[in-house]
Homo-oligomer: A and B are copies of this chain.
C-alpha cells in the first residue's frame, strides 16, 4: 500500500496513533467510561426530547429502562471531544451505547492498517449492536465533534427485551431496520459517484429532518475524507461533485455547510424509489 493510499484513510489522533490498539488499552478506556457516570442531565435530556418527538429514538427507549429515569435519570454517560473513541475494535463489549448528543463515525481497521468508514451515527442511535454475538466490538467508534454517549449494560438490554412490554417488538424492529439500511447501502455498490453522493446527502438530510431540524440546510459533521472513505470515492471526486452539484443549482456548498436547493433533482440523481422512507 502506498503512502498516497494511506492518506485517504482515517488519521488517528496522536494519542491513539498506534498501529494496532491492544485490547488491553481499549478495555481500560471502557473502564474510564464506566467511572464517568452520574453526569449532568440538563443537556442530555434536550436531544432526547427531539428524538421522542420523532417517536423512534432508541436512546429514549434505553433511558426509559434505566432505574429512576423519570425524576433524575442516573445515566452511565460519557462526554467525548472530537477524535476521542467510544470504543475500539476488538475490545470486550461492556455495554451498548446510544448517542445522546453530537455525532460519531463507525469504522473498521483492515489488515494493512487501512480503514473503512462504515457509518455515521447521530443522537438517538445505538452503536455497539454488532458486538452482541461475539461480545467483542467488531468496529471502532470515534466522535466527530463534542459528543455524549450513554451506556446501557447488556444485561439491562436483555431484560428489557425479554420482560418489558413491547421490548421484543422494539428490538425486532431495530434489527430489521439495520438490515434494511444494509440493503439500501448495498445498492450504492453498483452506483456511480454522483448517485452515491446525492444519496448520502439526502439520507443525511432525512436524518436531520427526523430529528426536528431543517432538512434542506445542515452542516456535515464529517470531513471530506470521511465522506469519500465511506462512499468508496477519492476525496477529490467528492470535492469535484460538490462543486458540480453547486454549479448545477442542486445545492449550495459553503465549507461544511450544505443547503439543498433542488431536492427533487437530487432525488432523481440518487435514484430513490418513492416507497422509501425518504419519500
Which residues of A does B touch, CB under 8 Å? 90, 108-112, 116, 118-119, 129-134, 138-139, 158, 161-162, 168-169, 171-183, 185-191, 229, 231-233, 271-275
Contact = CB atoms under 8 A, between A and B. Distances in A.
Nearest to A130: B179
Given A229-B190, A273-B111, A133 B172 contact: yes
A176 B231 contact: no
- Interface centre among A116, A162, A177, A189, by most chain B C-beta atoms within 10 angstroms, is A189
A23 to B, nearest CB: 11
Say whether chain A's binding surface is mostly helix, strand, loop, or mixed.
helix
Question: How many copies of the polypeptide does the oligomer hold?
Answer: 2
B172 A111 contact: no
Contact of A131 (B130, B161, B176, B233): B176
Contacts of A116: 186-187, 190
A133 B183 CA distance: 14
A140 to B, nearest CB: 11
Given A133-B172, A172-B132, A189-B231, A180 B112 contact: no
A265 to B, nearest CB: 15
Quick one: which of A112, A169, A179 has the most chain B CB within 10 A?
A179
A273 to B, nearest CB: 4
